[in-house]
Structure 1
Amino acid sequence: MSVHTATQHPGSLCYMVRDEIHKTEKPYFVYFPVDEFPGAKQTNVKFDYHDVGPSDIRGKTEDFKLDECGFEVVEFHSRFKYKDFNEFSKIENDYYKEVSDFLQDRMGAAFVQIFDCVIRRRNDQFPEKQFQNSDVQPVRAVHIDSSRERKMRRCKRALEDAGIRGGGRLQILNVWKPLRGPVRDWPLAVCDYRSCDDSDLTLVDQVYPNHYDEGTSLYFNSKHQWYFLSDQQPHEAFLMKMMDSDCQAADYCAHAAFPWKEAVKVEDMRESIEVRCVVFIKGDGK
């Protein structure tokens, strides 16, 4: 779909800068305060901001398909109320099942394993302060979660643990939705896979208080086509591709939060939940 069929809105996105230092030092982020460690740096990555003008797909969501552009908007009516998302045990026991059942039905999946969940509640210091001891904040840097190698290992381990044998299609899908709406504060922007090139991608070490991961960031490319859903409501979810073993389909969806400059009557700071899932479809999955 061409960007000209959707309404563009002012908004900048944060891209990683190509830096000479990364020829000898791998890019990294530390996702906790490092002030108490002399000489420690939060990151060795520099950013640049580009006014890409994400296009609003409200009223045109049917034009965006998961296997073509790496994302799609789906109706996902959860039984959870806003207050229920304060109880993580309830999320693990009940919300996970809702998401799993939804993906099994929609994707025709034989197996779904949810391996991660992130709830983000923006505080009034974001984006100036992003690594303080507070709720997890929106991510402004354009990214695609973990590296493909780590995602493949996770998929294979999930199938082994479940005792699943035989061929099929493996995917990692993210289900992202707001906890309340309409979202006008730092909405999610998604990039059409068809406008990306693998040369735009770079691996980044991610250091958390209790674990390490390897993520994927992006360099700016003027060909990138960005979209968002204006006034997104809790029953409207983004289904995003993070990996797909089918080489004929979209493999990933770059995404980031962005400041929607034209938003009116912004009353609530953004709160969202993102669930990350291994999905296995028997056979060729087509």
Structure 2
Amino acid sequence: MGAIAVPEIEASIDFIADKFNDEKPFYFHPASGAAINTEEIQLSNIIWDARSVRLHSMRDANLSLEKNGFCYVQHKSNYLPYDGAPTEITTDYQMETERMMQSYFDAEFVTCYDYRRRKNSPVTVEAYDPDDPQHVDQVAKGAHVDITIGTIADFVTRLLTPEQQIQYLSPEYRIRVVNTWRSILPICEDRPLAVCDYHSIDPHDLIPTDRVYPEWLQEIYHLRYNPKQRWYWLPDQRADEPLVFISYDSQSGSNARYCAHISFDNSLAAPDAPPRQSVETRTLVVTRK
């Protein structure tokens, strides 16, 4: 079955419920190995609102990172197994991602500061280790954006030296946080990624949410459902077709400044399709305006 022959499908996506007017949504990640009694400790107050959403194909669509907040590119990694075999994601892959970002954006400075491998399989609370980049995490839940505009300034300053802050945090430069997401199986059928067109999102539907870790606090956006949202996916995404999408852009205007995203159950996946395995990166990209 060719991907181009499947222009759109229906899928269920979890959105955050419209109930958080008086309390802030959160979820808590205990330390690895911590004995947590979930009957006594509330790990999350989030309530999900599952909605059926139409997903349009990215293939042959007139989409761009600048306009819509996401795209896919042709790029074969030299440091991934492509067959799902157990492997560590090395600094070589980080550096390869940095070279890809530098070339794509003609960037003056890049640093790939985070990478995560995910598999569509359960991970217990006790086994989860947020401090271990080699930990194979389960797929994320709920449509979301990885960072909020309110927390980006502190976040960026932690990634730059004092000298770099003086140079790059000035009106002459544009700061982006850019994600890549790719399958490490030949074809991604199980739990592919869905992304939402930036210009179809009402900012009022972005709900700041706390991710509470043992040693730090991270704020992200979860997305409320809105029928005006327009969602896309990449049918039969190959391992050499990484998705690239924006988590933050300092430039305001007609450009996309973030990309809401989430994986979904693919009704077109073969019954014996292997569980999704993917690797994602987050990179700070600095370009001169």
| TM-score where L is the length of structure 1 | 0.86
Structure 1 residues not aligned, in runs of 5+: none
Equivalent pair of 2:73/2:242 in contact (CA under 8 Å):
yes
The answer to whether the aligner puts 1:230 opposite 2:229 as a matched pair is: no
Matching residue within 122, 133, 142 for 2:127: 133
Equivalent pair of 1:29/1:205 in contact (CA under 8 Å):
yes
% identical equivalent positions: 26
Matches within 5 A, 1:164-183: 165=167, 166=170, 167-183=172-188
Cα distance 1:132–1:157, how it changes in 2: closer, same or farther (>3 A)?
closer
- Tell me the CA shift for residue 210 of structure 1: 4.1
- Tell me the CA shift for residue 139 of structure 1: 1.4
Equivalent pair of 1:151/1:172 in contact (CA under 8 Å):
no
Equivalent pair of 2:29/2:212 in contact (CA under 8 Å):
yes
The amino acid across from 2:284 in the alignment is V
RMSD: 2.3
- Which residue in the other structure is 2:278 paired with? 272
- Tell me the CA shift for residue 36 of structure 1: 1.9
- Which residue in the other structure is 1:67 paired with? 66
Matching residue within 166, 177, 190 for 1:185: 190
The answer to whether the aligner puts 1:9 opposite 2:26 as a matched pair is: no
Cα distance 1:257–1:31, how it changes in 2: closer, same or farther (>3 A)?
farther
SS in 2 for 1:9: strand
Cα distance 1:7–1:236, how it changes in 2: closer, same or farther (>3 A)?
same
Q: Distance in 1 between matches of 2:162 and 2:143?
A: 32
CA offsets per residue over residues 140-186 of structure 1, 9 Å max, x none? 30000121222232224434356361521110000111111311101
CA offsets per residue over residues 169-213 of structure 1, 9 Å max, x none? 110000111111311101000000010011010100102344321
SS in 1 for 2:246: strand
Matches within 5 A, 1:96-245: 96-123=94-121, 125=122, 131=125, 133=127, 135-161=136-162, 163=164, 165=167, 166=170, 167-245=172-250
Q: Distance in 2 between matches of 1:34 and 1:207?
A: 17
Q: How many residues align?
A: 268
The amino acid across from 2:17 in the alignment is V
Q: Distance in 2 between matches of 1:8 and 1:130?
A: 34
- Tell me the CA shift for residue 131 of structure 1: 4.7
Equivalent pair of 1:12/1:50 in contact (CA under 8 Å):
yes
Larger fraction in helix: 1
Structure 2 residues not aligned, in runs of 5+: 129-135
Equivalent pair of 2:183/2:237 in contact (CA under 8 Å):
yes
The amino acid across from 1:177 in the alignment is R
Q: Distance in 1 between matches of 2:85 and 2:268?
A: 31
CA offsets per residue over residues 16-62 of structure 1, 9 Å max, x none? 0011xx3332110123587425521221111111110212223x15x
SS in 2 for 1:99: helix
- Which residue in the other structure is 2:76 paired with? 77
- Tell me the CA shift for residue 132 of structure 1: 6.1
Q: Distance in 1 between matches of 2:173 and 2:117?
A: 31
- Which residue in the other structure is 2:27 paired with? 29
